[in-house]
Amino acid sequence: MSAGKKKLTPRQRMINLMYIVLMAMLALNVSSDVLNGFTIVDSGLSRSTDNATKQNLEIFQDFEAQMAKNPEKVGEWYAKAKRVKELSDSAYNYAEELKVRMVREADGKKADVRDIKNKEDLEAANFVMLAPGTGEGGKLYEVINNYRDQVVSMISDTVQQRIISDNFDTSVPQTENPLGKNWQQYNFENMPVVAAVTLLTKFQNDVRYAEGEILHDLIVNIDATDVRVNELSAYVIPTSQNVVRGNTFGARIIMAAVDTTQRPNIYINDQLVEIENGWYEVPCNSTGDFTLNGYLELNDGSGETVRRDFSQKYTVVDPIATVSASMMNVLYAGYDNPIAISVPGVPNNKVSARVANGNGTLRPVAGGFIAHPTKVGSDVVIAVSAEQNGRSQSMGEYTFRVRQLPDPTPFIEYKDDKGVTQRYRGGGTKLSKQALMGAEGIIAAIDDGLLNIGFRVISFETVTFDNMGNAMPELSNGANFSERQKNTFRRLTRGKRFYISSVKAVGPDGIERQLPSTLEVIIN
Protein backbone atom coordinates (compact mmCIF):
# COMPACT_ATOMS: atom_id res chain seq x y z
CA MET A 1 0.00 0.00 0.00
CA SER A 2 1.09 3.56 -0.56
CA ALA A 3 2.25 5.53 2.53
CA GLY A 4 0.37 8.68 1.27
CA LYS A 5 -3.19 9.80 2.19
CA LYS A 6 -5.99 7.87 0.66
CA LYS A 7 -8.30 10.03 -1.43
CA LEU A 8 -11.97 10.17 -0.31
CA THR A 9 -14.65 9.22 -2.77
CA PRO A 10 -17.43 11.72 -3.57
CA ARG A 11 -19.85 9.58 -1.61
CA GLN A 12 -17.60 9.61 1.47
CA ARG A 13 -17.21 13.39 1.25
CA MET A 14 -21.02 13.75 1.15
CA ILE A 15 -21.40 11.58 4.25
CA ASN A 16 -18.81 13.61 6.11
CA LEU A 17 -20.52 16.90 5.17
CA MET A 18 -23.90 15.59 6.25
CA TYR A 19 -22.37 14.56 9.62
CA ILE A 20 -20.95 18.00 10.11
CA VAL A 21 -24.31 19.60 9.32
CA LEU A 22 -26.06 17.21 11.71
CA MET A 23 -23.64 17.99 14.48
CA ALA A 24 -24.14 21.69 13.85
CA MET A 25 -27.90 21.26 14.01
CA LEU A 26 -27.59 19.32 17.30
CA ALA A 27 -25.32 22.03 18.63
CA LEU A 28 -27.84 24.69 17.66
CA ASN A 29 -30.61 22.81 19.49
CA VAL A 30 -28.52 22.49 22.69
CA SER A 31 -27.49 26.15 22.53
CA SER A 32 -31.09 27.20 22.25
CA ASP A 33 -31.97 25.33 25.44
CA VAL A 34 -28.98 26.76 27.25
CA LEU A 35 -29.80 30.27 26.12
CA ASN A 36 -33.38 29.87 27.36
CA GLY A 37 -31.92 28.70 30.65
CA PHE A 38 -29.93 31.94 30.93
CA THR A 39 -33.16 33.86 30.42
CA ILE A 40 -34.83 31.96 33.26
CA VAL A 41 -31.87 32.54 35.56
CA ASP A 42 -31.73 36.23 34.69
CA SER A 43 -35.44 36.62 35.37
CA GLY A 44 -35.10 34.98 38.80
CA LEU A 45 -32.09 37.10 39.69
CA SER A 46 -33.93 40.25 38.61
CA ARG A 47 -36.91 39.47 40.86
CA SER A 48 -34.59 38.76 43.81
CA THR A 49 -32.70 41.99 43.12
CA ASP A 50 -35.91 44.04 42.96
CA ASN A 51 -37.07 42.63 46.32
CA ALA A 52 -33.68 43.33 47.90
CA THR A 53 -33.79 46.89 46.55
CA LYS A 54 -37.19 47.48 48.18
CA GLN A 55 -36.03 46.05 51.53
CA ASN A 56 -32.87 48.13 51.48
CA LEU A 57 -34.89 51.26 50.73
CA GLU A 58 -37.14 50.60 53.73
CA ILE A 59 -34.10 50.25 56.00
CA PHE A 60 -32.61 53.45 54.66
CA GLN A 61 -35.90 55.29 55.21
CA ASP A 62 -35.86 54.01 58.80
CA PHE A 63 -32.38 55.51 59.10
CA GLU A 64 -33.66 58.85 57.85
CA ALA A 65 -36.58 58.81 60.32
CA GLN A 66 -34.28 58.04 63.27
CA MET A 67 -31.82 60.66 62.07
CA ALA A 68 -34.55 63.30 62.17
CA LYS A 69 -35.45 62.34 65.76
CA ASN A 70 -31.98 61.97 67.22
CA PRO A 71 -29.18 63.20 64.93
CA GLU A 72 -26.56 63.09 67.70
CA LYS A 73 -27.09 59.39 68.33
CA VAL A 74 -27.76 58.27 64.74
CA GLY A 75 -25.46 60.66 62.86
CA GLU A 76 -22.37 58.44 62.71
CA TRP A 77 -24.28 55.39 61.48
CA TYR A 78 -26.49 57.36 59.10
CA ALA A 79 -23.41 58.78 57.37
CA LYS A 80 -22.11 55.26 56.77
CA ALA A 81 -25.52 54.05 55.54
CA LYS A 82 -25.72 56.98 53.13
CA ARG A 83 -22.25 56.21 51.84
CA VAL A 84 -22.97 52.50 51.21
CA LYS A 85 -26.22 53.41 49.43
CA GLU A 86 -24.35 55.82 47.16
CA LEU A 87 -21.69 53.21 46.34
CA SER A 88 -24.31 50.51 45.69
CA ASP A 89 -26.53 52.70 43.51
CA SER A 90 -23.51 53.79 41.48
CA ALA A 91 -22.32 50.20 40.87
CA TYR A 92 -25.87 48.95 40.19
CA ASN A 93 -26.66 51.73 37.70
CA TYR A 94 -23.37 51.23 35.86
CA ALA A 95 -24.12 47.53 35.38
CA GLU A 96 -27.64 48.40 34.18
CA GLU A 97 -26.16 50.82 31.66
CA LEU A 98 -23.87 48.08 30.29
CA LYS A 99 -26.80 45.67 29.96
CA VAL A 100 -28.83 48.19 27.97
CA ARG A 101 -25.90 48.89 25.62
CA MET A 102 -25.31 45.17 24.99
CA VAL A 103 -28.97 44.40 24.24
CA ARG A 104 -29.28 47.42 21.94
CA GLU A 105 -26.16 46.26 20.13
CA ALA A 106 -27.85 42.88 19.58
CA ASP A 107 -31.52 43.90 19.05
CA GLY A 108 -31.41 47.54 17.97
CA LYS A 109 -32.58 50.80 19.55
CA LYS A 110 -35.96 49.40 20.68
CA ALA A 111 -34.32 46.56 22.58
CA ASP A 112 -35.69 45.40 25.94
CA VAL A 113 -33.28 44.00 28.55
CA ARG A 114 -36.09 41.82 29.97
CA ASP A 115 -36.96 40.42 26.52
CA ILE A 116 -33.81 39.79 24.45
CA LYS A 117 -34.52 38.66 20.89
CA ASN A 118 -31.05 37.70 19.64
CA LYS A 119 -29.95 35.84 22.72
CA GLU A 120 -27.22 34.00 20.83
CA ASP A 121 -25.49 37.16 19.56
CA LEU A 122 -21.76 36.78 20.21
CA GLU A 123 -20.65 40.21 19.06
CA ALA A 124 -22.64 42.52 21.36
CA ALA A 125 -20.75 41.65 24.55
CA ASN A 126 -17.41 41.69 22.67
CA PHE A 127 -18.08 45.15 21.24
CA VAL A 128 -19.31 46.77 24.47
CA MET A 129 -16.84 45.17 26.85
CA LEU A 130 -13.71 44.37 24.80
CA ALA A 131 -13.56 46.81 21.87
CA PRO A 132 -10.06 48.34 21.67
CA GLY A 133 -10.03 51.82 23.22
CA THR A 134 -13.77 51.89 24.06
CA GLY A 135 -14.39 48.58 25.83
CA GLU A 136 -15.91 48.86 29.30
CA GLY A 137 -14.47 45.57 30.61
CA GLY A 138 -11.49 47.17 32.32
CA LYS A 139 -13.65 49.84 33.97
CA LEU A 140 -16.12 47.22 35.22
CA TYR A 141 -13.21 45.29 36.68
CA GLU A 142 -12.10 48.39 38.62
CA VAL A 143 -15.66 49.17 39.72
CA ILE A 144 -16.10 45.68 41.19
CA ASN A 145 -12.77 45.77 43.03
CA ASN A 146 -13.35 49.25 44.40
CA TYR A 147 -16.87 48.41 45.55
CA ARG A 148 -15.71 45.21 47.24
CA ASP A 149 -12.87 46.91 49.13
CA GLN A 150 -15.05 49.74 50.43
CA VAL A 151 -18.09 47.76 51.54
CA VAL A 152 -16.09 45.01 53.23
CA SER A 153 -14.49 47.65 55.48
CA MET A 154 -17.96 48.77 56.60
CA ILE A 155 -19.14 45.44 58.01
CA SER A 156 -17.95 43.97 61.30
CA ASP A 157 -19.04 40.33 60.89
CA THR A 158 -16.05 38.34 59.59
CA VAL A 159 -18.31 35.67 58.05
CA GLN A 160 -20.20 38.28 56.03
CA GLN A 161 -16.91 39.89 55.08
CA ARG A 162 -15.76 36.61 53.56
CA ILE A 163 -19.08 36.01 51.75
CA ILE A 164 -19.08 39.51 50.21
CA SER A 165 -15.43 39.21 49.20
CA ASP A 166 -16.16 35.89 47.46
CA ASN A 167 -19.19 37.36 45.66
CA PHE A 168 -17.02 40.07 44.11
CA ASP A 169 -13.97 37.93 43.41
CA THR A 170 -12.26 39.08 40.19
CA SER A 171 -9.54 36.46 40.05
CA VAL A 172 -9.39 34.15 36.98
CA PRO A 173 -9.12 30.37 37.62
CA GLN A 174 -5.85 29.37 35.98
CA THR A 175 -6.93 25.75 35.51
CA GLU A 176 -9.84 26.92 33.33
CA ASN A 177 -7.84 29.60 31.51
CA PRO A 178 -5.09 27.89 29.51
CA LEU A 179 -4.82 30.88 27.18
CA GLY A 180 -4.00 33.37 30.00
CA LYS A 181 -6.97 35.65 29.46
CA ASN A 182 -7.62 38.59 31.79
CA TRP A 183 -10.83 38.86 33.83
CA GLN A 184 -12.87 40.77 31.23
CA GLN A 185 -11.79 38.47 28.41
CA TYR A 186 -12.51 35.39 30.50
CA ASN A 187 -16.05 36.60 31.24
CA PHE A 188 -17.15 38.36 28.02
CA GLU A 189 -15.12 37.11 25.05
CA ASN A 190 -17.41 35.23 22.60
CA MET A 191 -20.11 35.30 25.24
CA PRO A 192 -23.77 35.22 24.05
CA VAL A 193 -25.46 38.48 24.94
CA VAL A 194 -28.02 36.73 27.16
CA ALA A 195 -25.20 35.17 29.22
CA ALA A 196 -23.37 38.50 29.53
CA VAL A 197 -26.57 40.21 30.68
CA THR A 198 -27.18 37.43 33.23
CA LEU A 199 -23.63 37.86 34.52
CA LEU A 200 -24.24 41.59 35.05
CA THR A 201 -27.63 40.86 36.69
CA LYS A 202 -25.84 38.57 39.14
CA PHE A 203 -23.42 41.40 39.89
CA GLN A 204 -26.39 43.71 40.60
CA ASN A 205 -27.92 41.07 42.85
CA ASP A 206 -24.64 40.75 44.77
CA VAL A 207 -24.52 44.53 45.14
CA ARG A 208 -28.00 44.67 46.68
CA TYR A 209 -27.17 41.73 48.95
CA ALA A 210 -24.01 43.43 50.22
CA GLU A 211 -25.88 46.71 50.65
CA GLY A 212 -28.60 45.00 52.68
CA GLU A 213 -26.15 43.21 54.97
CA ILE A 214 -24.28 46.41 55.72
CA LEU A 215 -27.47 48.41 56.32
CA HIS A 216 -28.72 45.73 58.73
CA ASP A 217 -25.40 45.76 60.54
CA LEU A 218 -25.39 49.55 60.79
CA ILE A 219 -28.95 49.93 62.06
CA VAL A 220 -28.32 47.28 64.70
CA ASN A 221 -25.29 49.28 65.83
CA ILE A 222 -27.53 52.23 66.64
CA ASP A 223 -29.04 50.27 69.52
CA ALA A 224 -26.18 47.86 70.16
CA THR A 225 -24.57 50.12 72.76
CA ASP A 226 -27.92 51.05 74.33
CA VAL A 227 -29.10 49.45 77.52
CA ARG A 228 -32.67 48.21 77.15
CA VAL A 229 -35.07 49.82 79.58
CA ASN A 230 -38.66 49.21 80.56
CA GLU A 231 -39.24 51.67 83.38
CA LEU A 232 -38.80 55.43 83.63
CA SER A 233 -38.63 57.41 86.86
CA ALA A 234 -37.93 61.02 87.79
CA TYR A 235 -35.15 61.72 90.27
CA VAL A 236 -33.92 64.81 92.09
CA ILE A 237 -30.28 64.55 93.19
CA PRO A 238 -29.39 67.43 95.55
CA THR A 239 -25.86 68.68 96.05
CA SER A 240 -26.66 68.68 99.76
CA GLN A 241 -29.68 68.06 101.92
CA ASN A 242 -28.44 70.57 104.51
CA VAL A 243 -28.64 74.18 103.34
CA VAL A 244 -27.57 77.13 105.49
CA ARG A 245 -29.77 80.22 105.40
CA GLY A 246 -28.43 82.67 102.84
CA ASN A 247 -26.91 79.89 100.73
CA THR A 248 -28.45 78.22 97.66
CA PHE A 249 -30.08 74.84 97.18
CA GLY A 250 -28.84 72.98 94.10
CA ALA A 251 -30.11 69.76 92.59
CA ARG A 252 -29.85 67.78 89.36
CA ILE A 253 -33.30 66.84 88.04
CA ILE A 254 -33.19 63.89 85.63
CA MET A 255 -35.30 61.19 84.01
CA ALA A 256 -33.69 57.86 84.79
CA ALA A 257 -34.45 54.68 82.86
CA VAL A 258 -33.96 51.20 84.28
CA ASP A 259 -34.41 47.62 83.15
CA THR A 260 -36.32 45.83 85.89
CA THR A 261 -35.45 42.47 84.30
CA GLN A 262 -31.69 43.05 84.42
CA ARG A 263 -29.91 44.67 87.34
CA PRO A 264 -26.39 46.05 86.97
CA ASN A 265 -23.46 44.77 88.99
CA ILE A 266 -22.39 47.44 91.46
CA TYR A 267 -18.80 47.75 92.60
CA ILE A 268 -17.78 49.92 95.57
CA ASN A 269 -14.02 50.45 95.89
CA ASP A 270 -13.52 47.62 93.34
CA GLN A 271 -15.57 45.19 95.45
CA LEU A 272 -18.85 43.70 94.15
CA VAL A 273 -21.68 44.54 96.55
CA GLU A 274 -25.09 42.90 96.82
CA ILE A 275 -27.72 45.58 97.34
CA GLU A 276 -31.47 45.73 96.73
CA ASN A 277 -32.99 48.19 94.24
CA GLY A 278 -29.76 50.16 94.06
CA TRP A 279 -30.04 51.35 97.70
CA TYR A 280 -26.63 51.45 99.36
CA GLU A 281 -25.92 52.31 102.98
CA VAL A 282 -22.62 52.69 104.81
CA PRO A 283 -22.12 53.25 108.55
CA CYS A 284 -20.76 56.70 109.41
CA ASN A 285 -18.75 56.42 112.63
CA SER A 286 -16.39 59.35 112.18
CA THR A 287 -16.80 62.94 111.06
CA GLY A 288 -15.22 64.58 108.02
CA ASP A 289 -15.41 64.64 104.24
CA PHE A 290 -15.69 61.32 102.40
CA THR A 291 -16.11 60.12 98.81
CA LEU A 292 -18.10 57.11 97.60
CA ASN A 293 -16.26 55.72 94.57
CA GLY A 294 -17.32 52.82 92.36
CA TYR A 295 -18.73 51.72 89.02
CA LEU A 296 -21.64 49.82 87.48
CA GLU A 297 -21.47 47.08 84.85
CA LEU A 298 -24.35 46.00 82.60
CA ASN A 299 -24.66 44.11 79.32
CA ASP A 300 -25.89 46.19 76.38
CA GLY A 301 -27.90 45.13 73.34
CA SER A 302 -24.89 43.61 71.59
CA GLY A 303 -23.83 41.54 74.59
CA GLU A 304 -20.89 43.78 75.39
CA THR A 305 -20.30 44.92 78.99
CA VAL A 306 -20.98 48.60 79.60
CA ARG A 307 -19.10 50.20 82.52
CA ARG A 308 -20.01 53.53 84.07
CA ASP A 309 -17.92 55.03 86.89
CA PHE A 310 -19.41 57.18 89.64
CA SER A 311 -18.12 59.32 92.48
CA GLN A 312 -20.17 61.01 95.21
CA LYS A 313 -18.82 63.21 97.97
CA TYR A 314 -20.55 63.39 101.36
CA THR A 315 -19.88 64.93 104.74
CA VAL A 316 -20.38 63.38 108.17
CA VAL A 317 -20.91 65.75 111.12
CA ASP A 318 -21.52 65.14 114.79
CA PRO A 319 -25.10 65.15 116.04
CA ILE A 320 -25.75 68.73 117.14
CA ALA A 321 -28.38 70.23 119.41
CA THR A 322 -27.89 73.90 120.31
CA VAL A 323 -29.23 74.75 123.79
CA SER A 324 -28.35 78.19 125.12
CA ALA A 325 -29.19 79.93 128.38
CA SER A 326 -28.69 83.66 128.00
CA MET A 327 -27.75 84.12 131.70
CA MET A 328 -24.81 81.71 131.40
CA ASN A 329 -23.01 83.06 128.32
CA VAL A 330 -19.97 83.88 130.43
CA LEU A 331 -16.22 83.85 129.76
CA TYR A 332 -13.54 84.41 132.41
CA ALA A 333 -10.95 87.11 131.88
CA GLY A 334 -7.30 86.10 131.79
CA TYR A 335 -8.24 82.44 131.42
CA ASP A 336 -8.18 80.02 128.47
CA ASN A 337 -11.87 79.28 128.10
CA PRO A 338 -12.54 76.18 125.94
CA ILE A 339 -15.37 76.74 123.44
CA ALA A 340 -17.02 74.24 121.08
CA ILE A 341 -18.18 75.85 117.82
CA SER A 342 -19.98 73.87 115.14
CA VAL A 343 -22.28 74.47 112.21
CA PRO A 344 -24.89 71.81 111.30
CA GLY A 345 -24.03 70.10 108.03
CA VAL A 346 -20.49 71.55 107.90
CA PRO A 347 -17.37 69.61 108.98
CA ASN A 348 -15.33 71.17 111.76
CA ASN A 349 -12.32 71.75 109.50
CA LYS A 350 -14.44 74.15 107.41
CA VAL A 351 -15.65 76.22 110.39
CA SER A 352 -13.69 79.30 111.47
CA ALA A 353 -14.22 81.92 114.20
CA ARG A 354 -12.62 85.13 115.52
CA VAL A 355 -13.09 87.76 118.23
CA ALA A 356 -14.86 90.57 116.42
CA ASN A 357 -14.57 93.39 119.02
CA GLY A 358 -10.92 93.07 120.08
CA ASN A 359 -11.45 91.89 123.69
CA GLY A 360 -8.92 89.07 123.78
CA THR A 361 -8.04 86.32 121.37
CA LEU A 362 -9.56 83.15 119.92
CA ARG A 363 -7.44 80.30 118.62
CA PRO A 364 -8.35 76.88 117.21
CA VAL A 365 -7.26 73.75 119.08
CA ALA A 366 -8.04 70.07 118.78
CA GLY A 367 -11.74 69.65 119.43
CA GLY A 368 -12.69 73.34 119.36
CA PHE A 369 -11.38 76.82 120.21
CA ILE A 370 -9.78 78.65 123.13
CA ALA A 371 -11.15 82.10 124.01
CA HIS A 372 -8.90 84.30 126.14
CA PRO A 373 -10.63 87.58 127.12
CA THR A 374 -8.49 90.35 128.61
CA LYS A 375 -10.91 92.89 130.11
CA VAL A 376 -13.50 92.25 132.78
CA GLY A 377 -16.87 93.91 132.19
CA SER A 378 -16.46 94.18 128.42
CA ASP A 379 -18.29 91.62 126.29
CA VAL A 380 -16.60 89.29 123.83
CA VAL A 381 -18.19 89.07 120.38
CA ILE A 382 -17.31 85.90 118.47
CA ALA A 383 -17.97 85.90 114.71
CA VAL A 384 -18.44 82.44 113.13
CA SER A 385 -18.10 81.64 109.42
CA ALA A 386 -18.13 78.43 107.37
CA GLU A 387 -16.96 77.39 103.93
CA GLN A 388 -19.94 76.68 101.72
CA ASN A 389 -19.63 75.75 98.03
CA GLY A 390 -16.10 77.08 97.85
CA ARG A 391 -16.78 80.44 99.55
CA SER A 392 -16.81 81.71 103.13
CA GLN A 393 -20.24 82.51 104.54
CA SER A 394 -21.04 84.25 107.80
CA MET A 395 -22.89 82.07 110.31
CA GLY A 396 -23.60 84.88 112.78
CA GLU A 397 -22.08 86.64 115.82
CA TYR A 398 -22.38 85.43 119.43
CA THR A 399 -21.88 87.63 122.52
CA PHE A 400 -20.39 86.48 125.83
CA ARG A 401 -20.10 88.45 129.08
CA VAL A 402 -16.66 88.56 130.67
CA ARG A 403 -16.26 88.00 134.41
CA GLN A 404 -13.36 87.61 136.81
CA LEU A 405 -12.56 84.09 137.90
CA PRO A 406 -14.34 83.20 141.16
CA ASP A 407 -12.35 82.51 144.32
CA PRO A 408 -10.94 79.01 144.65
CA THR A 409 -11.41 76.63 147.56
CA PRO A 410 -8.45 75.52 149.71
CA PHE A 411 -7.93 71.82 150.47
CA ILE A 412 -5.34 69.33 151.57
CA GLU A 413 -4.25 66.82 148.96
CA TYR A 414 -3.13 63.39 150.24
CA LYS A 415 -2.99 59.73 149.26
CA ASP A 416 -5.24 57.14 150.87
CA ASP A 417 -4.36 53.59 151.85
CA LYS A 418 -4.64 52.46 148.21
CA GLY A 419 -2.36 55.21 146.94
CA VAL A 420 -5.20 57.19 145.34
CA THR A 421 -4.95 60.97 145.55
CA GLN A 422 -7.75 62.50 147.63
CA ARG A 423 -8.76 66.07 148.50
CA TYR A 424 -9.75 66.92 152.04
CA ARG A 425 -12.18 69.84 152.09
CA GLY A 426 -13.32 69.74 155.73
CA GLY A 427 -17.05 70.09 156.17
CA GLY A 428 -17.16 68.01 159.35
CA THR A 429 -15.28 65.01 157.97
CA LYS A 430 -12.13 63.74 159.70
CA LEU A 431 -8.57 63.42 158.39
CA SER A 432 -6.19 60.79 159.75
CA LYS A 433 -3.06 62.11 161.44
CA GLN A 434 -0.99 59.89 159.15
CA ALA A 435 -2.53 61.49 156.03
CA LEU A 436 -2.00 64.95 157.50
CA MET A 437 1.67 64.31 158.25
CA GLY A 438 2.15 62.92 154.74
CA ALA A 439 0.77 66.03 153.07
CA GLU A 440 3.23 68.74 152.04
CA GLY A 441 0.84 71.67 152.28
CA ILE A 442 -2.41 72.96 150.85
CA ILE A 443 -3.75 73.51 147.34
CA ALA A 444 -6.35 75.98 146.07
CA ALA A 445 -8.52 75.42 143.01
CA ILE A 446 -11.89 76.10 141.51
CA ASP A 447 -13.26 72.59 141.49
CA ASP A 448 -17.02 72.74 141.31
CA GLY A 449 -17.79 70.07 138.72
CA LEU A 450 -17.88 72.63 135.88
CA LEU A 451 -14.48 74.23 136.25
CA ASN A 452 -11.21 72.70 137.38
CA ILE A 453 -8.84 75.63 137.58
CA GLY A 454 -5.74 75.48 139.72
CA PHE A 455 -4.42 78.48 141.72
CA ARG A 456 -0.94 79.02 143.10
CA VAL A 457 -1.00 79.36 146.92
CA ILE A 458 1.30 82.14 148.18
CA SER A 459 0.77 81.80 151.93
CA PHE A 460 -1.63 80.74 154.63
CA GLU A 461 -1.74 80.30 158.43
CA THR A 462 -2.90 77.54 160.73
CA VAL A 463 -4.63 78.18 164.07
CA THR A 464 -4.50 75.54 166.81
CA PHE A 465 -5.61 75.81 170.45
CA ASP A 466 -3.77 74.80 173.62
CA ASN A 467 -5.33 73.18 176.67
CA MET A 468 -6.32 76.57 178.00
CA GLY A 469 -8.14 77.38 174.74
CA ASN A 470 -5.61 79.91 173.60
CA ALA A 471 -5.19 80.32 169.84
CA MET A 472 -1.74 79.60 168.44
CA PRO A 473 -1.39 80.86 164.85
CA GLU A 474 1.53 79.68 162.68
CA LEU A 475 2.58 80.96 159.21
CA SER A 476 3.23 78.60 156.28
CA ASN A 477 6.25 78.26 154.12
CA GLY A 478 4.54 79.37 150.92
CA ALA A 479 2.14 76.66 149.89
CA ASN A 480 3.81 74.11 152.18
CA PHE A 481 3.48 73.49 155.88
CA SER A 482 6.30 75.07 157.89
CA GLU A 483 8.30 73.07 160.46
CA ARG A 484 6.53 74.85 163.31
CA GLN A 485 3.16 73.89 161.81
CA LYS A 486 4.25 70.24 161.45
CA ASN A 487 5.48 70.16 165.08
CA THR A 488 2.12 71.48 166.17
CA PHE A 489 0.33 68.73 164.14
CA ARG A 490 2.40 66.03 165.90
CA ARG A 491 0.99 67.06 169.29
CA LEU A 492 -2.60 66.85 168.12
CA THR A 493 -4.65 63.92 169.39
CA ARG A 494 -7.75 62.21 168.09
CA GLY A 495 -10.76 64.53 167.98
CA LYS A 496 -8.64 67.69 168.04
CA ARG A 497 -9.17 70.27 165.33
CA PHE A 498 -7.39 73.23 163.80
CA TYR A 499 -8.14 75.80 161.11
CA ILE A 500 -6.45 76.91 157.92
CA SER A 501 -7.21 80.53 157.10
CA SER A 502 -5.84 83.74 155.54
CA VAL A 503 -5.07 81.86 152.35
CA LYS A 504 -3.50 84.04 149.64
CA ALA A 505 -3.47 82.66 146.07
CA VAL A 506 -2.88 83.78 142.47
CA GLY A 507 -5.01 82.42 139.63
CA PRO A 508 -4.23 82.03 135.92
CA ASP A 509 -5.54 85.57 135.43
CA GLY A 510 -2.57 86.86 137.49
CA ILE A 511 -4.77 88.43 140.18
CA GLU A 512 -3.68 87.88 143.81
CA ARG A 513 -6.54 87.38 146.22
CA GLN A 514 -7.10 86.38 149.86
CA LEU A 515 -9.65 83.65 150.14
CA PRO A 516 -12.56 84.34 152.46
CA SER A 517 -13.13 80.70 153.27
CA THR A 518 -11.55 78.78 156.20
CA LEU A 519 -10.73 75.08 156.14
CA GLU A 520 -11.58 73.20 159.37
CA VAL A 521 -9.47 70.06 159.91
CA ILE A 522 -10.59 67.37 162.45
CA ILE A 523 -8.01 64.76 163.41
CA ASN A 524 -9.18 61.15 163.28
* DSSP secondary structure of 207-271: HHHHHHHHHHHHHHHHHHTSPP--EEEEEEEES-S---TTS---EEEEEEEE-TTSPPEEEETTE
Clarify whether residues 98 and 28 are in a common domain. Answer: yes
Q: Give the separation between CA 484 and CA 506, rounded to whole angstroms.
A: 25
Residue 12 falls within a domain, yes or no? no
State how far the alpha carbon of 88 is from the alpha carbons of 62, 157, 197, 497, 513, in Å: 18, 19, 18, 122, 109
Task: State the total domains in the chain.
Answer: 4
**Mean pLDDT highest for which of 170-179, 293-302, 507-516?**
507-516
Whether residue 358 is contained in a domain is answered as yes
Would you call 90 exposed, middle or buried from its count of C-beta atoms within 10 A (0-12, 13-18, 19+)? middle
β strands within 333-465, DSSP E: 337-339, 351-355, 361-365, 368-372, 380-388, 391-403, 409-415, 421-424, 430-431, 442-447, 452-465
Report percent pLDDT > 90 for the chain: 43
Between CA 238 and CA 252 the distance in angstroms is 6
Mean pLDDT of 445-462: 88
Q: What's the CATH code of the domain at 336?
A: 2.60.40.10
Query: 100 and 33, same structural domain?
Result: yes
pLDDT tens by residue, 350-385: 899 999 999 999 999 988 899 999 999 899 999 999
Residue 6 domain-assigned?
A: no
Q: Is residue 2 part of a domain?
A: no
**Residue 271 shares a structural domain with residue 176:** no
Whether 459 and 496 share a structural domain: yes
Specify the DSSP class assigned to residue 37. Answer: H
Task: Look at residue 20 and tell me whether its pLDDT is greater than 70.
Answer: no
Q: Are residues 382 and 447 in the same domain?
A: no
Q: Are residues 220 and 236 both part of a single domain? A: no
Confidence of residue 3 (pLDDT cuts 50, 70, 90): very low
Statement to judge: residues 181 and 48 lie in one domain: yes
Mean pLDDT of 40-68: 88
Does 145 lie in the same domain as 81? Answer: yes
Q: Do 29 and 136 belong together in one domain?
A: yes
Answer for the pair 102, 125: CB distance below 8 angstroms, yes or no.
yes
Assigned domain for 173 exists: yes
Picking from 367, 388, 403, the residue at the C-terminal end of a domain is 403
Q: What is the mean pLDDT of residues 515-523?
A: 94
pLDDT level of residue 195 (50, 70, 90 thresholds): confident
Last residue of a domain, one of 259, 282, 316: 316
Determine, yes or no, domain membership for 11: no
Confidence of residue 514 (pLDDT cuts 50, 70, 90): very high
22 lies in the same domain as 168: yes
338 found inside a domain: yes
By residue count, the chain amounts to 524
Residue 102 lies in a domain: yes
Residues 197 and 62 occupy one common structural domain: yes
Same-domain check for residues 207 and 336: no
- Quote the pLDDT of residue 221: 73
**What's residue 519's pLDDT?**
94
| Containing structural domain, residue 493 | 409-523
Of 386, 403, 420, the residue that ends a domain is 403
Q: How confident is the model at residue 30 (pLDDT cuts 50, 70, 90)?
A: very low
Give, as one character, the DSSP assignment of residue 176: G
Beta bridge partners of 43: none
Q: How far is CA 293 from CA 226, 258, 270, 283, 308, in A?
A: 24, 21, 9, 15, 11
pLDDT-derived band of residue 492, with 50, 70 and 90 as boundaries? very high
